[in-house]
Amino acid sequence: MARVRYAIFKPSIKRIKLDRNIIAYGLVAIGFLIHFLPISINETLRIFYILSTFIIFLYFLTTSLWSYQPLNGKMQGEIEFMIDNISINGNVFRLSDIYAVHLHVEDYFGERKFYRKGNLNQTLQQGTKNFIQFIDTSNFQHKFYFKIDSKEDLEQLLPFIKRYNS
């Protein structure tokens, strides 16, 4: 079992994100309001708004299939999984000194995930939803997100998952 290294990802702490769904469905909602409420608006402007909304909706729908989700955060450092320890930015944590290890693996870079119908957001993943969470000997809880670059990198992590969970 060799060493496996990944880039550490630090997510941003933005609460509200303006994504494609909010933009497109917001435009549709405004269009319904314009159409059904007694608002006097030029018919040419109304048709222009409907066509513009349709084009934006169609653009989001078609480009979502081959575009990546936004990287909401930045890469900072490196995490290295070894047989008996984990190195995070040069700080070594021995497995014997770690309690309650939780290794969560969700995606890899380029993985395509389809969500629900009507979703206009990008389907290609950044590979940054993976994390390790553990408690050290001083009873401090650590949580580090990391980026998996490919399906092969994901498969290299499997022996470590088995080792850390035993």
Mean pLDDT along residues 47-76: 92
* DSSP per-residue codes, 20-85: HHHHHHHHHHHHHHHHHS-----HHHHHHHHHHHHHHHHHHHHHTTT-BPP--EEEEEEEEE-SSE
Structure tokens at 123: 């389907």
Are 132 and 144 contacting, i.e. CB atoms less than 8 angstroms apart?
Answer: yes
For the chain, what are the domain ranges? 4-14+70-164, 20-63
Smallest Cα–Cα separation from 142: which of 97, 84, 82? 97
Whole-prediction pTM: 0.81
CATH topology for 4-14+70-164 is PH-domain like (2.30.29)
Model pLDDT for residues 74-107, shown as the tens digit of each residue: 999 999 998 888 999 999 999 888 888 888 889 9
pLDDT for 128 equals 95
pLDDT for 102 equals 87
Structure tokens at 97: 């000194």
Q: Binning pLDDT at 50, 70 and 90, where does residue 141 land?
A: very high
